[in-house]
Amino acid sequence: MSIIEKYGKSFANPDRRNAIYQIIHGGAVDKEKAEYYDSRWFGGIVGNVPYTSEFPDSDEEWNDTAAGIREYIQRGMYTWLYDEKGYPSGTAGGYVTEFNPEYVAKGLYCYDYWRKISGPSTYRADVPGDKLWKALLLPVEGGDPIDVTDCLNERGVLYIEVPAGQFYLFMMSIRRLFDGTHATESYSEPRNYISLSDRKAVREFINCTHENYKKVLGDEFGKGVLAMFTDEPSLISWNIRAGVFPILPWLDSYPADFEAKYGYEFYKACTAVVLRRGDDAVKRRCDFWEFIADTIADSYFGQIQDWCRANNLKSSGHMLEEERLQAHVNNYGSFYRSMKRFDWPGIDQLATETSALMRDGTIPIARFIASFADINGEREVFTEFSDHSVRERGDRAELGCYYGSVNWHLAMGVNNFTSYYSWDGITKEETRELNRYTARSGGLLRMGSRDSRVALFYPEAAMWESYIPNTNVRAIDYSEATQALDDAFAQASWDLVQRQIDFDYIDCALLLEGEIQDGRLIYRDRAYSALVLPCARVLEEAAMAKLLECEAAGIAILFCGEAPRLSRETGVTSPAALEIADAIEKGRMALAPTEDFGKLLDAKLPRICRTLKIENEKGCYHPMLLSHCRVTDDGERVIYLANMDSVPFTGRLTVDGCCAEAVECDAFTGEMTKLDVDGRLSLDITIRPGEGRFWLIAGRK
């Protein structure tokens, strides 16, 4: 059977489920809107209850919303459920915290007194509010803190018996998280928030929201209702505006749970995180953030995922500040660990213009998040995309911006579109055509799996060791180590993207679980011939040993910015780190400064790591051209290219391997055109600005 015979009909008549979904908060109850979106061939909607003053106890509110949702389903459309009134998700419009004040998120406000205290002496100190948790004396010359909390008298004043020597006074107080945090700065309303580590609070959120949707729509779960959308949940233990004291996340159970897991007192880890003081500071800093990361991933994201899976729904949503690596620490402990608990991971993309989408100073979030679905096998990645940034300045997005954004997302690996677009100035027919284009394109890019042969490492331990909680706006750490990590991770990512190299982001767990076979690291259906590690200066001992095994098996190991130096477990240079340094010196592994990493890729990345080669008229790669290559379950290859430049791209496309048959697929018209091939595909191509083009190829050996 030829490619056209096999795929032509489904391509010409795409699955509506793959079109765009409009987000209509509270509007699902309006059945008349269903006709509007149906006539424009939307895939469906993302909706929620209107959150009246009677929420969550109004049967009428739930029933009317369910009736509205069913109207869309009866028209052949699909729906998602949005789980919150505004954002961030977690409080059910404030109900969870208003009626359960014990669930309001709290933080540790960390006060490091600026003067040295000398002993032996008696020293008096008032304490910061609301409730002192720990008062510590930190020896100036180093060593572990001395706990003097029991020097607090009944009037709330410290009278400290200072031993001989010089010390710093460090106090940590428990306070409600509100002032200057995300609780006061969202677009919805000032609202108390929950701790994502608090299983009971999250369970109450599920009871208020998810269980009520189940009562009225449970029969459509997994059919007309596809997924539950959670929006920007995060730790809010940091300031959006400039703060006074650094903040750490807090839950009353943290100290006991931490000590049970790691075998030492929680306050020692807190001290190491804020001040880098005490023994084993590297290990303790990593222990702290790992502990926070696991409690959040399990208690919030894991609990919701478990509920969704038990009820035939997909857990989905997006997180906060995906684009800044250091923000992953103070928001989640580990963004990667939380993101793994989504079935259908997602992003938000407020920009629609190419210049903003191709901003290479931050993480290419669409490629980053799409990796999770590529690795977990779900093949579904969503975006909450919009023309927000254009509307904010009083302008209107042209139709080309809509197509350009769709093509950018598709090339990065995002194939499910939920929309906040205004559609201002876009006609009914133009909207229909865009939806059909999106559905055709999304259908092709759900086939098989992405042909990623390179893995980019998520440097979790290095992030934990380097990030310093602070009082800056958005808690940005300007330390040299953290900035170097931010820069290296973004640079390595874009160096791969701009060279049309398909790659996935992996973490330490995947590296360790993967099996080495035939010169590749194998994990499920993923097979990596090269590993890229940006600034992974701190690394687990087992991970360093695995890198040495990979190199010995012929897997290329490339370091960006800095090679592993310190052990996550001990905080000192390990024998494995010395072996890696020796391998770099002898040319078996490679290291380049961040600014020169692209040159290292050009020189050292094996040819086997590339599915295709694209050269412009000068014989060079083109950084504004994006690629996405997939292998179908039957072995065909899907090749997608998108031109994000403001001028046409003209050059040559050469696809690796044998080619027995090839067709070009026009996502605008639904037509497939057979190409003349002679065992190999090599084409002269021209791609207009913002345009995306597809090829389907059979005959790969």
Q: What is the pLDDT of residues 626-682, one digit of tens each?
A: 999 999 999 999 999 999 999 999 999 999 888 999 999 999 999 999 999 888 889
Instruction: Report the percent of the chain where pLDDT is more than 70.
Output: 100
What residue spans of 161-316 are helical by DSSP H?
Answer: 182-185, 199-208, 210-217, 254-262, 266-275, 281-296, 303-310
- Give the containing element (helix H, strand E) for 10: helix 3-12
pLDDT at 399: 96
pLDDT at 529: 98
Sequence ranges of the domains in the chain? 107-176, 454-607, 612-698
- Give the containing element (helix H, strand E) for 695: strand 692-698
Beta bridge partners of 126: 157
Instruction: Report the percent of the chain where pLDDT is more than 90.
Output: 94
> Do 454-607 and 612-698 come out as alike in CATH topology?
no
Cα gap 458→526, rounded to integer Å: 16
Closest-CA residue to 56 (of 215, 232, 194) = 215
Encode pLDDT of 122-140 as tens digits.
999 999 989 999 999 999 9
Please check whether residue 132 is in contact with residue 138, taking contact to mean a CB–CB distance below 8 angstroms.
no
Exposure string for 573-597, b = 16+ CB within 10 A, e = fewer: ebebbebbbebeeeeebbbbebeeb
User: Dihedral sign, CA of 365, 368, 369, 373?
Assistant: positive
Q: How many helices (H) and strands (E) does the chain have?
A: 24, 32
User: C-alpha distances in angstroms, 505 versus 408, 453, 565, 568, 630?
Assistant: 18, 11, 21, 20, 16
Q: Region 422-439: what's the mean pLDDT? A: 98
Q: Region 189-202: what's the mean pLDDT? A: 98
**pLDDT confidence tier of residue 701, bands split at 50, 70 and 90:** very low
Beta bridge partners of 649: 687
Does the domain at 454-607 match CATH 3.40.50? Answer given as yes
Closest-CA residue to 461 (of 536, 547, 558, 559) = 536
pLDDT at 277: 96
What lies within 8 Å, CB to CB, of 154 at 6+ separation is: none
Top-confidence residue, 187 or 428: 428
Q: pLDDT at residue 361 above 80? A: yes
pLDDT at 31: 78
Three-state DSSP state, 103: helix
Q: Region 290-317: what's the mean pLDDT? A: 99
- Give the containing element (helix H, strand E) for 436: helix 428-444
pLDDT at 186: 84
Encode pLDDT of 391-408 as tens digits.
999 999 999 999 999 999
Calculate the average pLDDT of the chain: 96
**pLDDT confidence tier of residue 148, bands split at 50, 70 and 90:** very high
Encode pLDDT of 211-227 as tens digits.
999 999 999 999 999 99
Identify the residue whose tokens are 């809010």. Answer: 236
Cα gap 550→562, rounded to integer Å: 19
| Burial (CB count within 10 angstroms: exposed 0-12, middle 13-18, buried 19+), residue 675 | middle
Does the domain at 612-698 match CATH 3.40.50.300? Answer given as no
